[in-house]
């Protein structure tokens, strides 16, 4: 039995095609917005890389009101150039659809099926590819113990013995079904592997790829770090929140993190 920790790896972030944006802005007379790039006004700071996630959200927002510069829309007499303030206004006013264009992809590694049952309840704006325990045969039962459990020797002794026995039983079933024998058809392996996973615990550590847009991320970070949420999902979404605050400070900087680790947004339900 291998003890593991749930881990979060950010594997993809948005990338703006500035040539495409420039061609569009040229067509509508909105080049001024892109010229701000040259003045570092669409960067978080002159020395830091440009933040495509924020630029894409701002781009989608400005498209709505043709507010690349004053006068393009006769109704718009002034435009907001400060990106952080602009995006704060998007969050405050709940203009959330523009945030749906901006997606991030994570590998959630060594998470349990307890975790994934809860994660999949969050549907709009997300995509999931989960490790198949019908295809992937368990030859061990990796398992996460929270610190409070690790501090309980009797619990750990009994839980470790149980998991070791379950692991051995997985091995016994593989042998019993002859899964590694010469010429066993893959559909037979799949059939038996799927049966065998029923005899592994919900807590077995596995993994998935999870993609979510900013709107879904904001909602799930808030809900799943709440003090009332389950401890593993709280741990994972605390990590996701910390990554997102680094990735897009203007879109996640409004959260206050409580002493208990709950991420409470300044602007709710965008
Ligand atoms: C502490 C806690 C305990 C829970 N306990 C249980 C439990 O015991 N049993 C159980 O089954 N579930 C439970 N859940 C799951 C919960 O009921 C939700 O299904 C889950 O949190 C997904 O959140 P969401 O509804 O905001 O949906 P998301 O999929 O995250 O959607 C985001 C938002 O989009 C809107 N939306 C999404 N889908 C629809 C729709 N079909 N129709 C209209 N609007 C929609 C809603 O405004 C929703 O808030 C629990 C969740 C938490 C956080």
Residues 164, 165, 167, CA angle at the centre, nearest 5°?
65
pLDDT at position 104 = 98
Query: Is the C-alpha dihedral spanning 238, 240, 242, 244 positive or negative?
Result: negative
227 Cβ inside 6 Å of ligand 1? no
The catalytic residue positions are: 224
Identify which of 122, 213, 232, 234 to mutate to test ligand 1's pocket (most ligand atoms within 8 A of the CB). 122
Residue of 129, 103, 127, 85 whose CA lies nearest to 15: 103
Tell me which residue has its CA closest to atom 47 in ligand 1: 269
What is the residue with the minimal CA distance to atom 13 of ligand 1? 118
- Smallest CA-to-CA distance from 189 within 133, 142, 140, 141 is with 133
Q: Report the pLDDT value the prediction gives residue 78, as an integer from 0 to 100.
A: 84
Ligand 1 center to 122 CA (angstroms): 6
**223 burial level (CB within 10 Å; 0-12, 13-18, 19+):** middle
Mean pLDDT to the nearest integer, 6-32: 95
pLDDT-derived band at 26, boundaries 50, 70, 90:
very high
**Confidence bin at 36 (pLDDT 50/70/90):** confident
Tally of CA atoms within 13 A in the half-sphere of 211 that contains its CB: 13
Listing DSSP states for the chain in one string gives --B---EEEEEE-----HHHHHHHHHHHT-HHHHHHHHTTTTBSSTTSPB-HHHHHHHHHHHHHHTTTSTTSSTT-------HHHHHHHHHHHT-GGGGGG-EEEEEEEEE-HHHHHHHTT--TTEEEEE--TTTS--SS--B---HHHHT-HHHHHHHHHHHHHHHHHHHHHHHHHTTTSTT--HHHHHHHHHHHHTTS-TTB-EEEEEEEEHHHHHHHHHHHHSTTS-HHHHHHHHHHHHHHHHH-HHHHTT-EE-TT--EE-SS---
Q: What is the pLDDT of residue 126?
A: 98
User: Residues of the chain with pLDDT > 70: what percent?
Assistant: 96
Which has more pLDDT, 93 or 46? 93
Supply the residue whose CA is at minimum distance from atom 23 of ligand 1. 122
pLDDT digits (tens, 9 = 90+) for 148-185: 999 999 999 999 999 999 999 999 999 999 999 999 99
Q: Is 107 in the pocket of ligand 1 (CB under 6 A)?
A: no
Q: Is the model's pLDDT at 270 over the cut of 90?
A: no
The 10s digit of each residue's pLDDT in 228-261 is 999 999 999 999 999 999 999 999 999 999 999 9
Q: Which atom of ligand 1 is nearest to the CA of 224?
A: 53
124 in ligand 1 pocket by Cβ < 6 Å?
yes
Residue 230 CB–ligand 1 contact under 6 Å: no
**Averaged pLDDT, 264-270:** 86
- Given a cut of 70, is residue 44 above it in pLDDT? no
Q: What is the pLDDT of residue 73?
A: 87
Average pLDDT, the chain: 94
Whether ligand 1 lies within 6 angstroms of the CB of 120 is answered as no
Decide whether any atom of ligand 1 lies within 6 Å of the 229 Cβ: yes
- Residue whose CA lies nearest to ligand 1 atom number 1: 229
Regarding the beta carbon of 123 and ligand 1, being less than 6 Å apart is answered yes
Most confident stretch, 58-67, 81-90, 162-171: 162-171
The per-residue pLDDT for 199 is 97
| pTM for this prediction | 0.94
Gap from CA of 221 to ligand 1 centroid (Å): 13
Give DSSP secondary structure letters for 159-192.
HHHHHHHHHHHHHHHHHHHTTTSTT--HHHHHHH
pLDDT digits (tens, 9 = 90+) for 204-228: 999 999 999 999 999 999 999 999 9
pLDDT-derived band of residue 48, with 50, 70 and 90 as boundaries?
Answer: low
Residue 231 and residue 148 in contact, taking contact as beta carbons nearer than 8 Å: no
pLDDT at 46 over 60: no
pLDDT band at 74 (very low <50, low <70, confident <90, very high): confident
- Name the residue at shortest CA distance from atom 8 of ligand 1: 118
Look at residue 7 in the predicted model and tell me its pLDDT: 98
Q: In the predicted model, is pLDDT for residue 9 greater than 60?
A: yes
């Amino acid at each position: 039995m291998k003890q593991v920790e749930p881990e979060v790896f950010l594997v993809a972030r948005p990338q703006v095609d500035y040539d495409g944006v420039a061609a569009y802005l040229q067509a509508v007379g909105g080049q001024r917005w892109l010229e701000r790039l040259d003045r570092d006004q669409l960067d978080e700071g002159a020395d830091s890389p440009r933040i495509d996630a924020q630029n894409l959200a701002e781009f989608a927002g400005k498209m709505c009101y043709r507010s690349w510069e004053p006068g393009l829309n006769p109704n718009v007499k002034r435009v907001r150039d400060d990106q952080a303030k602009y995006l704060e206004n998007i969050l405050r006013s709940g203009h959330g659809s523009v945030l749906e264009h901006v997606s991030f992809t994570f590998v959630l590694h060594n998470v349990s099926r307890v975790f994934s049952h809860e994660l999949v309840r969050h549907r709009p704006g997300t995509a999931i590819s989960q490790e198949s325990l019908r295809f992937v045969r368990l030859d061990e039962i990796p398992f996460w113990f929270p610190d409070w459990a690790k501090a309980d020797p009797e619990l750990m002794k009994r839980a470790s013995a149980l998991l070791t026995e379950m692991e051995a039983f997985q091995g016994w079933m593989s042998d019993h079904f002859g899964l590694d024998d010469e010429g066993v058809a893959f559909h037979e392996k799949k059939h038996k592997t799927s049966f065998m996973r029923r005899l592994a615990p919900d807590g077995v550590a596995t993994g998935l790829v999870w993609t979510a847009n900013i709107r879904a991320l904001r909602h799930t970070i808030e809900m799943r770090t709440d003090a009332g949420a389950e401890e593993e999902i709280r741990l994972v979404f605390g990590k996701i929140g910390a990554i997102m605050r680094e990735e897009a400070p203007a879109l996640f900087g409004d959260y206050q993190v409580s002493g208990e680790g709950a991420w409470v947004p300044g602007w709710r339900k965008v």
